[in-house]
Structures are given as structure tokens and as C-alpha cells.
Chain A
Amino acid sequence: MNLEATINGEELTLEIEPGEVLLDVLRRNGFKSVKEGCKTGDCGACMVLVDGSAMTSCTLFAAQVQGANIKTVEGLDDELAGSLRENFLDKGAVQCGFCIPGVLVSAYSLLSSNPDPTEEEIKAALDGNLCRCTGYVKQIEAIKETAEELGDS
């Protein structure tokens, strides 16, 4: 069957199996930032935005996003995404990097709907992302810094 969806701003028609998950379809079609980690919805390495909501693509059937607007980290190209990237680098929030696309998608989703989050809200937004390197401290700092920067501008 075919999946018609807008992925990172481009209207695409992709051939899918009715029982396969979105993660597999995205990776097969070159969206390699979407990582396969646990494949049980726990680690968040496969996080994408579906019509603006952060979801793990390993727990969604590809056919469920028929007609939806999907964004992976490659498709986040506005001021917010740029500021998040810069601050993740500046704060040393990236070590091995495997989890980072998913973390950035979660952070982007949070700041899009809540531009001035508390630390608790940041932690809650990241509770679906596992990072085994950083302990999250630098990532939380980077998200706070981004919120402050964009709040000032």
C-alpha cells in the first residue's frame, strides 16, 4: 500500500507494508537521523513530530500517519532549531550523539508549545528520551539557554 505524507516539508508517496512501523519506513527512505534503539517506545531515539506532537516512530504503524505532517530532526530548520543546535554544542550536551536527534525533537516540541518552561517541565518533556552519556544536565541547560535567548529576542 502507499503512504502519502508530508515529510520535512516535502509531499511524498512511499510504498509501505500494512503492518510495518513508521521508524522502518523513514530509515528505508533515507531519514537516518531517526535511530533504532530499543524499538519498544522507551528510549526516544526514533522520536519524530507527527502534526507537531512528539511521538516515538517505533510505536506507530506507518499507515497511521496517512496524510500527516512528519518532521524529523533534518526538517527542523527555523530559528528555534538553530538555537537549540548551537546551545547543545556550546554546553557540551552531546557526547556519543546517538540519542541527540530524538532529544532535539523533544526539546523542539516543548519550546514550540511552551517557550518559557520550568526545569520540571523540561525534565518531563525529556522523560521519553534515554541518554546514557550526559546525565541530561547539559541538555537541560541547553534547552533553558535556548528559551532565554529566544525570549530575549
Chain B
Amino acid sequence: MLKQVTDYHYPGSLEEAASLHDRESRSFFIAGGTALALSDSKRPVELIDVGGLGLDELELDEEAGKIEIGATTSIQNVIEHEGIKSVLNGFLSESLEEIGSYPIRNAGTLGGSLVHPFPWSDVVTILSVLDTEVTYFHDGERKTRDFSRLYERDFRSELNDSVIEKLSIDLENETRTAASFHKFNRSEFDVAALNLACRITHNQGEIVEARLAVGARPMLAERVKEVEEELAGEELGSELARQAGNMAPESLELGDDKKISGDYRETLAEKMTTDAIKGIYQEVSK
């Protein structure tokens, strides 16, 4: 219980939600509520519930080649969407299924996962390798930004005081893309000790573009640009996977926390990178 909370608001529009937030600097937006309900933060004194703003649309527009996910759409609803299960060879559905447990995914939302992401966030790692755009309402204006660039730079200043409206995932290169997500955790619903997502766009096995993101380092996910650049233009294969695996720990900032040591993370990063690229190679070779 957050005892210091004195008001709970149900705004009727994005504008009203933003205005309520502007009025009280210690107000927090609530979507699924799971992260804040679990916290013992003394900061929030007002809660602004954005669950009733109709931001829960979920659409796979195959003609336009994109998925649009409203910010308050539950993670489980995305997983269960029949169309989304079949795009990107099921990457999005299957990787989101690795998050928490069924009841947590029922309450948790993608938008909520992005505003105050935990360092071990699987969502940030997963979305970092896709062509994702975030649309949000900030300082009285609607903005759309590339997800990866936002998280590399200024997402805290941008999103902490914003209402996220939706995420758009571009599927333009979907037929030439393979992706996989790997997570090391101590139990089925424990948070990640390291997570990794890899996506490769290829032309008959030749890598056109590679994306590799590693999270829970124990810091928030980052793209592994050195490895991505090494992979571009190469032929997919097991030896290439091993080379990328060897490079990954040196190209990443990895540290200790109470879960595992930095050394353990280096070993995991090598193994998970190799496995991810090998898995993609096997999928592409079928």
C-alpha cells in the first residue's frame, strides 16, 4: 500500500491526464499498475489511471505492414492475438510469453513497461531489435520517436512525464527476417539475470542487417553495435555464430549484482549470442 497517496484520478482524455500530471509533480500514471503496486516508493501522492482512455487497441494491419499496439494493451492480449502469432515467425508472441507469469501478463501492459522500465526489462530488449516507433503525449504535443534511439538517449526525460499512446512495429522486411529471444533466469517467473534478443534481415542467407540487444546486464538493454556491424554482409553460419559469441562479452558493459557476477554474465552473453545466431541460421536454412 502506498499510504501517502491522497488522490486517484480517472481522466477522460489524454489531454486531461497530462493536465492532471502537470498540476502535481508527484503524480504517477497507472496503466497495469503492477510495478507501482509492488513498489514501496514514497514519492507518488496522486495516481492517474490511464486504463480508461481507450488506449488498448491491438491491430495487425497486413496491408500497411505494421502492428499497432495501444499502450494499455495487456501483454497477454498481444501474445494471444492470432495474427501476431504468425508474423516474424512468432517472435513477438513467443518472446513476450517469457515475461513473468500468466496473471502478471494479464495485468501488465507494454506501455507501462516502457515508462519506468526495470533494468531487467524483457520488453525493452525485445522491442530494441524490431522497427518500433513509440507515440506519446509530452509537454502538450504528440510525438513519435524511433524506439531504439529513444532508449539510447533521452527516454527518461521524455517518457517519465508522458502518456504513451501506442507502439507501432514495422513489418516491411518480415519475410526476410528471423529473430529469437533468450533469457537466463533462476525460475520460470523470476526476472532475467541476462536477456538477449537478436534479429537478422537476410537475402538468401547473406546478412543484410543484424540487430543484437542485451539487457539485465544488470543495466537496461543496449544494442551491441560492434557485433551488429561485424555480422552485416556475412553469410549466416555456425562459425559466424561462434565468432559473434566470442565478440559479444567484449563489446558489452556487463556488471555484478546479487543475482550473478559479471564473469557469469560474460559467459552467458557469449553462449546466448552464439545460440541465437545459430538458431536463426538453422531456421533460415530450413
Do A and B associate with each other? yes
The residue that A127 contacts in the complex, of B8, B34, B74, B188, with Cβ under 8 A, is B188
- A55 and B106 form a contact (CB under 8 A): yes
A66 in the interface, Cβ–Cβ < 8 Å? yes
Are A61 and B47 in contact, CB atoms less than 8 angstroms apart? yes
Contacts of B188 in A (CB 8 A): 127
Residues on the B chain within 8 Å of A64, using CB? 30, 33, 49, 51
Q: Is B153 an interface residue (CB 8 A)?
A: no
Contact A44 B103 (CB under 8 A): yes
- Among B1, B76, B107, the residue within 8 A (CB) of A56 is B107
Is B37 a contact of A21 with CB atoms below 8 Å?
Answer: yes
Shortest Cβ distance from A2 into chain B, in angstroms? Answer: 11
- Is B5 in contact with A59, judged by CB distance below 8 angstroms? no
Specify which chain A residues have a CB less than 8 angstroms from the CB of B185 in the assembled complex: none
Q: Which of B62-105 contact A (CB under 8 A)?
A: 74, 76, 97, 100-104
Q: What's the minimum C-beta distance from B223 to chain A, rounded to whole angstroms? A: 30
A55/B8 in contact, CB under 8 A: no
A128 at the interface (CB under 8 A from B): yes
The reply to whether B37 and A61 form a contact with Cβ atoms under 8 Å apart is yes
Task: Report the bound CA distance from A60 to B112 in whole Å.
Answer: 13
- Of A12-20, A73-81, A82-90, the one with at least 4 CB within 8 A of chain B: A12-20
Query: Smallest distance from the beta carbon of B165 to chain A beta carbons, Å?
Result: 19
Instruction: Say yes or no: A66 contacts B189, CB within 8 Å.
Output: no
**Interchain CB contact under 8 A, B189 and A42:** yes
Take A59-B33, A61-B47, A128-B189 as given contacts and tell me if A54 and B1 are in contact as well, using a CB distance cutoff of 8 Å: no
Closest to B105 in A: A128
Interface residues on B, range: 20 to 34
Fill in one digit per residue for B19-62: 1 if any A CB lies within 8 Å of its CB, else 0: 00000000000100110111000001001010100000000000
Asked if A40 lies at the interface with its beta carbon under 8 angstroms from chain B, I say yes
B-contacting residues, A30-79, CB 8 Å: 40-42, 44, 47, 50, 53-56, 58-61, 63-64, 66
Indicate if A147 sits at the interface (CB-CB under 8 A).
no
**Contact across chains for B102 and A127 when beta carbons are under 8 A apart:** yes
Interface range on chain A (Cβ under 8 Å from partner)? 20 to 34
Listed A/B pairs (15) with beta-carbon separation below 8 Å: A19-B1, A21-B1, A41-B38, A41-B104, A50-B107, A53-B106, A59-B34, A59-B103, A61-B30, A66-B10, A106-B102, A124-B102, A127-B102, A127-B189, A128-B101
> Is there contact, CB below 8 Å, between B7 and A56?
no
**Do the beta carbons of A58 and B101 come within 8 Å of each other?**
no
Which residues in A have their C-beta under 8 angstroms from that of B2?
19-20
Q: Judging by beta carbons under 8 Å apart, are B8 and A63 in contact?
A: yes
Inter-chain CA distance A59–B103, complex, in Å, is 10
Tell yes or no: A96 within 8 A of B by CB: no
Q: Is the CB of B33 within 8 A of A56?
A: no
Instruction: Choose one: B6, B7, B10, B103; the contact of A54 (CB below 8 Å).
Output: B103
A94 contacts chain B at the CB level, 8 A cutoff: no
From residue A101, how far is it (CB to closest CB) to chain B in Å?
A: 14
A18 to B37, CA, bound (A): 11
B7's closest neighbor in chain A, by CB? A18
Q: Give the 3 A-B residue pairs with the shortest CB-CB distance, closest first.
A: A19-B5, A128-B101, A19-B2
Q: Nearest residue in B to A39 (C-beta to C-beta)?
A: B38
A106 to B97, CA, bound (A): 17
Q: B186 — which chain A residues lie within 8 A by C-beta?
A: none
Contacts of B10 in A (CB 8 A): 66
Within the complex, what minimum Cβ distance (angstroms) separates B113 from chain A? 13
| Listed residue (A1, A19, A44) with the most chain B CB atoms within 10 angstroms of its CB | A19
B96 to chain A, nearest CB (A): 13
Q: Which A residues touch B1, using CB under 8 A?
A: 17, 19-21, 24
B81 to chain A, nearest CB (A): 14
A110-B30 Cα distance, complex, nearest whole Å? 27
Considering the complex, give the chain A residue whose CB is closest to the CB of B4.
A19
> Is there an interface contact between B104 and A60, defined as CB atoms closer than 8 Å?
no
CB B78 to nearest CB in A, in angstroms, measures 14
Q: Which of these, A24, A42, A54, contacts B102 with CB under 8 Å?
A: A54
CB contacts under 8 Å to A, within B190-233, are none
Option from A1, A41, A106 in Cβ contact (under 8 Å) with B34? A41
